[in-house]
Amino acid sequence: MTEIVKPGTGLLYMKVGKHAGESLEDIIRRKTREIEEAGFALWGYGGNTCHPLSMVQPFARDFERRGQTIYLCMEPMDSRHLAPQVRAGEFSADGLRWESIPPTINVLGSRYALRIADLHHEEFELPLSETKVAIGNNLGKRGDSYVMGRVDKACLEVLSEPEAGAGQPAVTKHIGLVARLVEPYAVFVRNSP
């Protein structure tokens, strides 16, 4: 098993695929180039399950205080995301103070973005049934009971031992892509006014 999945580790799980008409492999190539040129990339996403201020930032800071690196563990999937390729021009860590996104970085068709580095392919099975939600209204809920239906991302903590699941089978997700989250971890993005 990968060194990323150890008891007590915090990680962000996310399903990824085609986005804004761009294939996952094209996105990976572009984000890798952005990291090489700017030192980081912004990985766009939507939905409120991993809101930048109320979820991702406090989650990542808590685990960073524990001396941990937070990894984004991505499960590749088939996607039909056909949103237009509208490039965001500004980002904000707090939703109040905005700054220009460097010209070498593109965030397309998203409301939020994770700030990442060290993007690479890494294959392993993530045992969702051996994780729990690490922040928010579902704090403590088993990962496999939380990540289902329309929930496709989560701030999780790896358990030291699996919790009883009332007869539920173990659920794993195949991870194929990993990145390291870097300060400020998650931001708001918008078109330039």
What are the structural domain ranges in the chain? 10-190
What is the rounded CA–CA span in Å between residue 133 and residue 185? 18
DSSP conformation letters of 88-144: P-EEESSSSS-EEPPTT---BS-SEEEEEEEEEEEEEEEEGGGEEE-SSTTTT-BHH
**pLDDT tens, per residue, the chain with 193 residues:** 578 899 999 999 999 987 667 788 999 999 999 999 999 999 999 888 999 999 999 999 999 999 999 999 999 987 665 566 667 889 999 999 999 999 999 887 789 999 999 999 999 999 999 999 999 999 999 999 999 988 999 999 999 876 655 567 788 999 999 999 999 999 999 987 6
Q: Are 157 and 134 in contact (CB under 8 A)?
A: yes
Q: What does pTM read for this prediction?
A: 0.91
User: Encoding tokens for residue 88?
Assistant: 């965001």
